[in-house]
Amino acid sequence: MDSLFAFGLGVSTLNRAGKVIDTFFPAPLHQVTGAVASQIQDRFTAGSQQVSPASVQAFIDQVQPELRPLLEADRDLTAVFLPKDSDIGSTSEAFLKLHLLSHRLRLPNTMNLDGIFGHLPNIAWTSRGAIDLTELASLQLEARVRGEYFEVHSVDKFPKMANYVVPTGVRIADTSRIRLGAYLGEGTTVMPSGAINFNAAALGPNMVEGRISQGVILGADTDLGGGASTMGTLSGGGNITISIGKQCLIGANGGTGIPLGDRCTIEAGLYITAGTRVTVVDETGETVRVVKARELAGHSDLLFIRHGSNGAIQCRTNRKAIALNEQLHDHN
Amino acid sequence: MDSLFAFGLGVSTLNRAGKVIDTFFPAPLHQVTGAVASQIQDRFTAGSQQVSPASVQAFIDQVQPELRPLLEADRDLTAVFLPKDSDIGSTSEAFLKLHLLSHRLRLPNTMNLDGIFGHLPNIAWTSRGAIDLTELASLQLEARVRGEYFEVHSVDKFPKMANYVVPTGVRIADTSRIRLGAYLGEGTTVMPSGAINFNAAALGPNMVEGRISQGVILGADTDLGGGASTMGTLSGGGNITISIGKQCLIGANGGTGIPLGDRCTIEAGLYITAGTRVTVVDETGETVRVVKARELAGHSDLLFIRHGSNGAIQCRTNRKAIALNEQLHDHN
Amino acid sequence: MDSLFAFGLGVSTLNRAGKVIDTFFPAPLHQVTGAVASQIQDRFTAGSQQVSPASVQAFIDQVQPELRPLLEADRDLTAVFLPKDSDIGSTSEAFLKLHLLSHRLRLPNTMNLDGIFGHLPNIAWTSRGAIDLTELASLQLEARVRGEYFEVHSVDKFPKMANYVVPTGVRIADTSRIRLGAYLGEGTTVMPSGAINFNAAALGPNMVEGRISQGVILGADTDLGGGASTMGTLSGGGNITISIGKQCLIGANGGTGIPLGDRCTIEAGLYITAGTRVTVVDETGETVRVVKARELAGHSDLLFIRHGSNGAIQCRTNRKAIALNEQLHDHN
C-alpha cells in the first residue's frame, strides 16, 4: 500500500449557519503507512467529516492517544483524511495542509495548494476566537451594550500560526506577523518587523527581521535584516521562486527579487531585482562584465553593494567564488 | 432645510471621574435630510449628550431600528448631533468623525478635524477596553495580585479601527496597524507591514504592505509594496498632500514624497522626495531634462528607477505619457 | 554606607514545576540609601526570594505603602535585593533590571546585563499571562475542547513593556513592538512601524517610526522615520554602540550604522554603514574629501544624501559645522 498523504483529527469553529470556519488539529499526521494507515482507511472516508467523540474513541486510544483530551469535547470533532495530495476541497482540508507546514511535516512549495483561497473564508480572528464577518458587527454591539469588550486581532483568510502551533525552539516577538502555514525551523527568531507568510520558510537557525513572502525559503544561518524584503510570486517576483541559501545576509531595508546561493550578502538598503543592472567585479577590483541580476540568480559567494562614489551596483565575489568568476570571464 | 452634517448614537467608556474616554457608534449617519433630519433636530441638542436608553427608544424604533440592541444598555448612551462640520468640541465628536471615515461615509481631507488632538485623551487600549492612563498602573497591580491578567494593546489617542468597524470586503493581517479614522475601500488587503493612519485612505482595491500616512489617499488598483512609505503632512511631507492615483506601484521599501498620477511605478528600494533631482528620459533613452521631483508631481505614466550603473535617478515615461514628454521638451 | 543598587517586591508567574517564569515589579527601587536601605538590608537576603505577604507587611507599611495591594495576594510574593550591579543570577533579577530601564531609573548601557539571556526562559506570552512553552500545546488543546480560546501574543524571552509599566507621557501604537527593558522618555511617540528593543532608549521627546536596536540611544527632538533602521551590536553594528544626538532626522526607510552627533539628517531611503564611502562637500558644493563613514561618527550638523544625478553619497554640512569642515580640510 502506498502511504496516505495526510490525516488530522481536530476541533472546528462553526458560524451561526453551522459552516466550519476554522479547524485546529493538535497532532496532524503525514505520509502515513502500515497499521496506522489501515486504521484510518477503515474508519474514515476521504475528505472532511464531522464525527462524534464517542465514534473516534477507539481510534484515539489505539492510534493517537495524545489526542485523548478531544474525547472531552461536548460537540462533534472534525476529521480530515486526504489519501492523496489533491486540490483543496474544504476549509478543514485547507487548515490541515497549513498545519502540515507549521508542524514542519512538509516544506513550502512541495504541496498542492490549489483552491486554498477559495476554501478559506475571510474571518475576524478575535479574543473570542474565529467569528464570521457577517456576525461580527452585531456581536461587537452586544458586547459594548453589556459593558463587555473583545478584541479583533486580524481580519484575514489565514489565522496566526501561534494560536495553532508553536514549533520547538523558536522565538516570535509578535505572533500577528506569522500566518498559519509558515514553516519555522528550530532556532528561528522573528523580531517585531519580521513576517513569514504561509507556504514560506525559515529553515533555521535564522534571525528574521524582514519579510519572507509566500513561496520563499531561507536557508540555515541566514539573516534577514530589519525591514528586508523578499519578493514572492504573489508580490512582484513573478514566476521566479525565491530561495536564499545558507549563511547569507540581507542587510536591513535591503531586498532581493532573485534567488541567492550560499554565503551571499546584500548590503543594508540595497534592493536587487531581476532586472537590476549589476557590475560584476573580481578580486582585484576589475570589472568583469555588466549583467542583469537574474543572470546571477542562485550563485553563491556574492556580495552586492551600491558603490558610494559612483552609484554603481556592484557584485563582488566573496571568497571561494573563483569558479563563478571564471565562468563569467568566459562569457566576456 | 440644509442637510445635517452628522449624527451618532452609541456607547461610551467613562473613566473613574465620569469623563468620556471613548465612544462606539454602531451606525453613524451623515448628510442627513428629510424626516430623519427633523427627528434628530427635534430630539437632540447640538453637540454631545448622555441620554438614557428609554429616552431614545422612540427615536430608535422610528429612525434607526438597527440600533435596538442599544436599548438593552444598563447605562446612559451617548448621542452626538453635529448640524455642521464645525471644529471638534468633545471626545465623542472626535470619535464620530473618525467613525464617518472608517464607515466610508466621508473621504479623508474633506472634513474639519481641527481640535481632534486636543479632544482625544491618551488612552490605554486593553483587553478590558479603554482605560484612563492614570488608572492603569493600579489596575495592572490589582489584576496581578488576583492572579489575573489583562493585555495593554496600545497607548494612544486613536484606537484601532477594527474594534469599532470592519468595513466589507477588506482583509487586515494585523489590526493594530490601522487607526480608527482610516478609510479602507472594498477590496483592500493590508499585510503585516501595512499601516493606515486616521484621515488616510486606500480606496480599494489595493494591496497595502506599506505605510499610508495621515492625509494620503491611494487610488484603485494601486499597490503599496512591503515597507513602502508615503510622506504625510505630519511626517515630513510638509504642506504637500500626497495622493497616489490608480494602477500605481510603489515597490517594496520604496517611497514617495510627491503626489503621483495614474499608472506610475517607483522601483523597489527607491525613495523619491520633493527635492530629489530626477533625470527625465524619453522613449528612446535620451535625456529630456533634469528636474526636481516636485515638478513631476501628479503626472501619470511615470516610471522611477535608479540606474544600476551610474546611480542616476531616472524618470522614464510609461506608455501614453508622450504629452508629458513633449511638454517637458518644450521647457528644455 | 554605599547605596544599594536595586530592590523590588513583586508578583511572579510560576510554571507547573514551580519555577518563576516572569516577575512583575510595580515600584522598583534604585540607588537606595539611608533608612530605606537599612530596612532592605535587615529584612531581605541578597538575590531573589519568595516571601509571604504577611512577612513583608511591616516593610510595605513603613517603606513602600504604594505596594499595599500586594498584601491581598493569596500566594507568595517575590523579593529581589541586589546590593551591587552584579551579573544576573535569576529570572527575577533579570526582570528587575529590565524594570529599572523601563521605569526610567537607569539608562541603557549603564548596567551589567551579563547572564540575561541565560536567565530568561523562552515563554509564551498569552491572554492568560505567561505560559511555559512545554505546557502551551496541552493548554491550547484543552481550551479548544471546552470551546474556549486564548491568544498567544508573543513567544520570546522578553515580554512587552506595556504589560509591566507604561511610563508617563508616551504613546505607543502597537505595544507588541516594545520589549520590557526599553527606555521611553517623556514625549515619546512610537508609531506602528516603530520598535524599541530592551536596553535601548528614546530619551524623548521623539517620534519613533523606525527600529531602535539593542544598545542604541536616541536624543531629544530626534525623529526616526518610518521603517528607519539603527544597527545594534546584536544586529550588524559590530562593536560600535550607536547613539544618535539631538534634533536629528533619520528619514523613512533610511538607516545608520554609525553614531551621529546633533542636528544630523540622513535622507529618506539612504543607509549609511561604517564602511560606506562618503564624499564630504562644503558649503560651496566643493568636494572636501572622500572618507569612510566611520570617520564621521559622532560629528554634528551633517546632512547625508545620495546625489540624484551621479549616485554619490554626499555628506553636506548643516549650518555651524564649519569647524568640522576645517578639520577635514586639514586632513586633505
pLDDT tens per residue, range C48-72: 999 999 999 999 999 999 999 999 9
| pLDDT(C236) > 60 | no
Mutate to test the interface with A, among B253, B266, B305 (most CBs of A within 10 A): B253
Chain A contact set for C212 (CB, 8 A): none
Residue A2: the pLDDT is 79
How far is the alpha carbon of B52 from chain A, nearest alpha carbon, in Å?
Answer: 13
Mutate to test the interface with B, among C52, C168, C191 (most CBs of B within 10 A): C191
How far is the alpha carbon of C145 from chain B, nearest alpha carbon, in Å?
Answer: 22
| pLDDT(A319) > 50 | no
Chain B contact set for A312 (CB, 8 A): 308-311
The answer to whether the Cβ–Cβ distance between A153 and B170 falls below 8 Å is: no
Distances (CA, A) of A190 to A239, A287, A310: 27, 38, 35
Chain C contact set for A168 (CB, 8 A): 133
CB C182 within 8 A of CB C215: no
Residues 6+ apart with CB under 8 A from B284: none
The answer to whether the Cβ–Cβ distance between B166 and A255 falls below 8 Å is: no
For residues B140-150, average pLDDT: 96
**How far apart (Å, rounded) are the C-alpha atoms in residues A132 and A155?**
10
Count of beta carbons in the 10 Å neighbourhood of residue B284: 5
Fold topology of A161-330 = UDP N-Acetylglucosamine Acyltransferase; domain 1 (2.160.10)
Q: Coil, helix or strand for B328?
A: helix
Q: Please compute, for residue A16, the number of CA atoms within 13 A of its CA located in the half-sphere on the CB side.
A: 8
Of residues A285 and A120, the one with the higher pLDDT is A120
CB A137 within 8 A of CB B166: yes
How far is the alpha carbon of A327 from chain C, nearest alpha carbon, in Å?
Answer: 29
Residues 6+ apart with CB under 8 A from A147: B74, B75
Chains that touch C (3 or more CB pairs under 8 A): A, B
Least confident window among A206-210, C292-296, C328-332: C328-332
The answer to whether the Cβ–Cβ distance between C174 and B152 falls below 8 Å is: no
Banded model confidence at residue B132, pLDDT cuts 50, 70, 90: very high
Give pLDDT tens digits for C241-286: 899 999 999 999 999 999 999 999 999 999 999 999 999 998 888 8
The answer to whether the Cβ–Cβ distance between B211 and C227 falls below 8 Å is: yes
Chains that touch A (3 or more CB pairs under 8 A): B, C
β-bridge pairing A211-212 and A195-196: parallel
Sign of the dihedral through C-alpha C50, C55, C61, C63: negative
**How far apart (Å, rounded) are the C-alpha atoms in residues C209 and C219?**
15
The answer to whether the Cβ–Cβ distance between C227 and B231 falls below 8 Å is: no
CB A36 within 8 A of CB A73: no
CB C319 within 8 A of CB C313: no
Residue C319: the pLDDT is 47
β-bridge pairing A129-132 and A29-32: unpaired
Average pLDDT of chain B, as a whole number = 93
Report the chain A residue with the minimal C-alpha distance to residue C157: A171
Count of beta carbons in the 10 Å neighbourhood of residue C53: 16
Chain B contact set for C178 (CB, 8 A): none
**How far apart (Å, rounded) are the C-alpha atoms in residues C256 and C267?**
11
Give me the phi and psi of A329, to 5 degrees please. -60, -40
Residue C240: the pLDDT is 73
The answer to whether the Cβ–Cβ distance between A155 and B163 falls below 8 Å is: no
Question: Thinking of the domain B4-107, which architecture would CATH place it in?
Answer: 2-Layer Sandwich (3.30)
| pLDDT(B331) > 70 | no
Banded model confidence at residue C331, pLDDT cuts 50, 70, 90: very low
| pLDDT(A28) > 50 | yes
Give pLDDT tens digits for B43-83: 999 999 999 999 999 999 999 999 999 999 999 999 999 99
* Topology match between the domains A4-116 and A124-156: no
Question: Thinking of the domain A4-116, which architecture would CATH place it in?
Answer: 2-Layer Sandwich (3.30)
Average pLDDT of chain A, as a whole number = 93
Number of A–B residue contacts, CB under 8 Å: 146
| pLDDT(C132) > 80 | yes
- Reference B136, options C220, C96, C172; nearest CA is C172
Domain ranges of chain B: 4-107, 124-156, 161-330
Chains that touch B (3 or more CB pairs under 8 A): A, C
**How far apart (Å, rounded) are the C-alpha atoms in residues A215 and A218?**
10
Banded model confidence at residue A21, pLDDT cuts 50, 70, 90: very high
**How far apart (Å, rounded) are the C-alpha atoms in residues C236 and C257?**
8
Q: pTM score, two decimals?
A: 0.95
Banded model confidence at residue B292, pLDDT cuts 50, 70, 90: very high
CB C252 within 8 A of CB C145: no
How far is the alpha carbon of B22 from chain C, nearest alpha carbon, in Å?
Answer: 16
Distances (CA, A) of C168 to B247, C7, C186, C204: 44, 22, 6, 11
Residue C322: the pLDDT is 43
Q: Coil, helix or strand for B306?
A: strand
| pLDDT(C18) > 90 | yes
Give pLDDT tens digits for A151-189: 999 999 999 999 999 999 999 999 999 999 999 999 999
Catalytic residue of the set C151, C209, C283, C286: C209
Give pLDDT tens digits for B156-192: 999 999 999 999 999 999 999 999 999 999 999 999 9
Residue with cell 449628550: B49
Is the domain defined by C4-106 classed in CATH 3.30.70.2010? yes
Give me the phi and psi of C170, to 5 degrees please. -125, 155
Residue A332: the pLDDT is 41
**How far apart (Å, rounded) are the C-alpha atoms in residues A102 and A184?**
7
Give pLDDT tens digits for A204-235: 999 999 999 999 999 999 999 999 999 976 55
**How far apart (Å, rounded) are the C-alpha atoms in residues B136 and B115?**
26
CB B279 within 8 A of CB B287: yes
Mutate to test the interface with C, among B122, B150, B155, B163 (most CBs of C within 10 A): B155
Question: Largest Cα–Cα distance of chain A, in whole Å?
Answer: 76
Q: Any idea what DSSP says for residue A116?
A: H
Residue B21: the pLDDT is 98
Q: Put residue C97 in one of left, alpha, beta given phi > 0 → left and psi -120 to 50 → alpha.
A: alpha
Give pLDDT tens digits for C197-207: 999 999 999 99
Residue C317: the pLDDT is 78
Q: Coil, helix or strand for C30?
A: strand
For residues A309-324, average pLDDT: 75
Chain A contact set for B279 (CB, 8 A): none
CATH H-level superfamily of B124-156? Trimeric LpxA-like enzymes (3.30.60.70)
The H-or-E segment that residue B291 falls in is strand B287-292
Count of beta carbons in the 10 Å neighbourhood of residue A298: 12
Give pLDDT tens digits for B212-259: 999 999 999 999 999 999 997 655 555 678 999 999 999 999 999 999
Catalytic residue of the set A135, A186, A209, A286: A209
Residue C332: the pLDDT is 41
H runs (alpha helix) in chain A? 34-43, 57-62, 91-102, 116-119, 133-145, 322-330
Q: Please compute, for residue A270, the number of CA atoms within 13 A of its CA located in the half-sphere on the CB side.
A: 30
Residue B155: the pLDDT is 98
- Report the complex ipTM: 0.94
β-bridge pairing B206-208 and B223-224: parallel
Q: Coil, helix or strand for A327?
A: helix
Catalytic residue list contains B72: no
Chain B contact set for C306 (CB, 8 A): 311
